[in-house]
Amino acid sequence: MEEQKHTSFTFEINNFSDKEGFITSPKFSSGGCEWYVGVYPKGYNVDDHLSLYLHVANPGTLRLGWKRRANYSFLLLNQSSGKELYRTPESPCQLFCAQFSSWGRPKAVSLKKLQEKGCLEKNKLIVKVEIKVVSVDRLFRDHPNIAVNVRPKNQLVKTTYMNLLLALIDTLNKPPHSITDTELSNAQSELMELTDAAGFKLDWLKTKLHEISLERKKANADGSRARELEEQIQNLKAELKEEKLESHTCSAKVLSLEQTVSELKDELNKEKGKSDSYADKLVSLEQTVSDLKYELNKEKGKSDTYAAKVVSLEQTLSDLSSNQNKKRKVTRQEFSRAFGYFSS
């Protein structure tokens, strides 16, 4: 991966409301070159806005063919506390080169909002720039033929395509699982535009994109299977809970019936020892005992069935959970792999 340089720089502009023309900040260094911030208090080609630009300060002293790509943000700070009052969105990765040594935001913030947010305490504006510079030397060193057949001759168009390429590289350098479907679709379109329309030689980037697409498809497939298993496990858990309840109810009924049968047997034995006047009662008791034994055997059969089903459900649930854990482990291992040039 290219070496990245993170730098921040803060400066103040006194008597801001009295300023009309172009204001430059002191110089600061980052990524092997010097920079400065250019400020237009009344806007550059726009009305009622503060315009902010980032410039390479020493382009003439850099070696022939120099290039830097950078992301940057501008911040406006409170004078008393140093608290951040406003921040511009971070720029897309911009290519700075001899032909285009500055980029910026003509509508950084409206002058009305500048007042409303309290950015001009004591008529002083405090500006901070945060910049992340990445040298592209390694890109051209590892892929020297990348731009040999580039068709556009206009430098502005070439720089626009280069910025598109660098932004695409940043996207494909992200972990595969963090790339959205929209980003992947845009990446495919941008790669086609860069190769077919502009003439860049990007076979290595095509391979990278293909690997990411396959990885995402596999991850999505594993994710769908994992969700399917989770849903199945939840359903089985609910069914298991219901079966356990039925089993407990059936077992309790069996115990109750066994107790009743035992009590009736005791009563039957007592009655047998009495006179024949109790013959009818004995017959009735014997019939009741017989009926209860029949019902008891039926309930015991149910209990055995429920118990077997509970055991089966518990085993199925255990197997599914084990399978899901294996799937998750494999997915984590696959995501931990690094691909190609950018993860090296």
Least confident span in 139-153, 163-177, 242-256, 268-282:
268-282
Confidence of residue 335 (pLDDT cuts 50, 70, 90): very low
Q: Mean pLDDT over residues 156-182, rounded?
A: 82
| CB-based contact 66:158 (threshold 8 Å) | no
pLDDT at 28 over 80: yes
Q: Whole-angstrom Cα distance, residue 13 to residue 338?
A: 47
- What CATH class has 4-136? mainly beta
Question: Which residue in the block uniquely carries the two structure tokens 């890109």?
Answer: 139
Domain map (residue ranges) of the chain: 4-136, 141-217
Tens digit of each residue's pLDDT (9 = 90 or more) over 205-264 = 999 999 998 888 887 776 555 566 667 677 777 777 777 777 677 677 777 777 777 777
Q: Which residues contact 204 (CB under 8 A, 6 or more apart)?
A: 143, 340, 341
The pLDDT of residue 130 is above 70: yes
Angle at which helices 203-272 and 181-192 pack, to 10 degrees?
160
Judged against a pLDDT cut of 90, whether residue 3 lies above it is answered with no
The pair of three-digit structure tokens given for residue 266, joined into one six-digit string: 């005791």
pLDDT at 340 over 70: no
Measured N-to-C along each axis, helices 181-192 and 155-172 cross at an angle, to the nearest 10 degrees, of: 140
Span 149-169, average pLDDT: 82
State percent of the chain over pLDDT 90. Answer: 29
Q: Would you say the pTM of this structure is higher than 0.75?
A: no
Amino acid 95: pLDDT: 86
Q: What is the pLDDT of residues 83-117, one digit of tens each?
A: 999 999 988 788 888 888 999 999 999 999 999 99
Q: DSSP labels for 184-232? A: HHHHHHHHHIIIIIS----HHHHHHHHHHHHHHHHHHHHHHHHHHHHHH
Going by C-alpha positions, the residue among 76, 112, 105, 77 that lies closest to residue 91 is 105
Distance between CA atoms of residues 216 and 181, nearest Å: 9
Q: How far is the C-alpha of 261 from the C-alpha of 266, rounded, in Å?
A: 9
